[in-house]
Amino acid sequence: MKLLFLGDVMGRAGRAAVTARLPGLRAQWALDFVVVNAENATSGAGLSADHAKVLLAAGADCLTLGDHAFDQKDMLSFVETEPRILRPLNYAKAAPGKGVRVFTAAGGRKVLVAQVLGQVFMKRPFDDPFSALDAALRAHPLGGAVQAAIVDVHCEATSEKMGIGHWCDGRASLVVGTHTHVPTADAMILKGGTAYLSDAGMCGDYDSVIGMEKLEPMRRFVTGMARERFTPANGEATLSGVYVETDDATGRATAIRMVRIGGRLQESHPA
């Protein structure tokens, strides 16, 4: 299968990059399944129902959220009516929506998608992501119940993401990090056959501080005081993520390539 995962879509610039480029890439790369992290797609904070519809129409098969899952209040109800949106599996027990789901791709092939939140350096304490993922992956074995499994690890710390990557090695097709908005350069296939990248980066304007207009974050760092709200930077976004090819028989990865297109980052994409 040919899979594409795109990192945190940041505000209007990020949405514009996805809607402008994803339909073409879907055809050009013959993609079978596309996951987009959309936790910052609406004004940099959460995802509205309207913007979710726009990203799904552009070619996303599944949208994942994160710690900002419910910053837009209409997502509290919309996530219950739109099964293609996932919130973190280890979010509050009372939260609406689901954190794992099996999708059907072309040819009837099954694709599991799950998202977990990290516990290290996160503002709120969340349940253990390791045991949450263990249960989900045991229930949907690769090469058996599902032909591919994609895990979005929404964490601050690269160490925690790597730990989860190895924890899932051989049980997931792809473990990819989100949340930091900066892509890492460690795309690889782990020993057990799981494609891994510590962070997919954001689909956003990199002339910024993690997607926000840079002046106010810099001011807060320098002075320790807030003067204005953070607002998303709206220059041309880089589409940022990872492309993976998998073997349908085993669900394991056979190729991985970082994806960076447009905007300020050095370009990278499959051949």
Q: Which residues bind Fe ion (CB under 5 A)?
A: 8, 39-40, 66-67, 179
Residue 68 bears catalytic tag: yes
What is the residue-wise DSSP string for 158-216? HHHHHHHHHHTBTTBSEEEEESSSSB-S--EE-TTS-EEES-B--BB-SSSBTTB-SHH
Minimal distance, residue 2 CB to Fe ion, in Å: 25
The nearer residue to Fe ion, 66 or 263, going by C-beta atoms, is: 66
Minimal distance, residue 45 CB to Fe ion, in Å: 9
Minimal distance, residue 68 CB to Fe ion, in Å: 5
Alpha carbon separation from 242 to 16, 64, 99, 246 (Å, rounded): 19, 15, 21, 13
The token pair that represents 169 in the structure block: 């090695």
Instruction: Please answer whether residues 178 and 161 qualify as being in contact, where contact means their C-beta atoms are separated by less than 8 angstroms.
Output: no
The token pair that represents 131 in the structure block: 């045991």
Alpha carbon separation from 215 to 142, 181, 207 (Å, rounded): 46, 18, 11
Minimal distance, residue 208 CB to Fe ion, in Å: 13
Active-site residue list? 68
